[in-house]
Amino acid sequence: MQSPENAEAMLQIAADAAVSKGGEDLVALNVSEPLPLVDIFLLVTGNSERNVAAIADEIEDRLVEAGHKRVRREGRAEARWVLMDFGDLIVHVFHGEERVYYGLERLWKDCPVVPIELTEAAERS
């Protein structure tokens, strides 16, 4: 990975934010080998369009508050698959049906999984 400490710190913030808004089935993949400009993909599932939007908004708010710049965001209007690019970290927040349909875990199955350790505060939210 290019800057593992930065990417992992961003991952922690994003994961805690996702869980605090009801995000489920979090998976982080180290995609730095096939994608040299990105370190980690975070995949999160929401249970409705409203939930997907809330999760995406919370992740973005917390990462920006921590000083990370969002490069790009797509899919917020439909809230079925919101993609947020923060440089070292790309976050995919899916509605459950889209996550199964697009199967990013299957596409990136050769990439190592990055462990996610949620804080107690995020787990209690």
Token pair of 35 as six digits: 């994608």
- Cα angle 33, 15, 27 (rounded to 5 degrees) comes to 50
The ranges assigned to domains in the chain are 4-117
User: What share of the chain has pLDDT > 70, as a percent?
Assistant: 92
pLDDT at 111 over 60: yes
For the chain, the average pLDDT equals: 91
pLDDT value at residue 1: 39
Residue 116 has pLDDT above 80, yes or no: yes
Query: What pLDDT shows up at residue 5?
Result: 77
Q: Which value, to the nearest 10 degrees, does the dihedral of the CA atoms of residues 97, 52, 47, 87 take?
A: 70
Please report the pLDDT score of residue 6 as a whole number.
87
Q: Which two tokens stand for residue 84?
A: 């947020």
Q: What is the token pair recorded at 119?
A: 């804080």
Instruction: Write down the pLDDT at residue 120.
Output: 55
Kindly state the tokens that stand for 15.
């994961």
Q: Confirm or reject CATH 3.30.420.270 for domain 4-117, answering yes or no.
A: no
Q: What angle do CA 74, 77, 78 make, to 5 degrees?
A: 95
Higher pLDDT, 1 or 58: 58
Q: Which two tokens stand for residue 28?
A: 């982080």
> What is the average pLDDT across 78-92?
96
Q: Is the pLDDT of residue 36 over 60?
A: yes
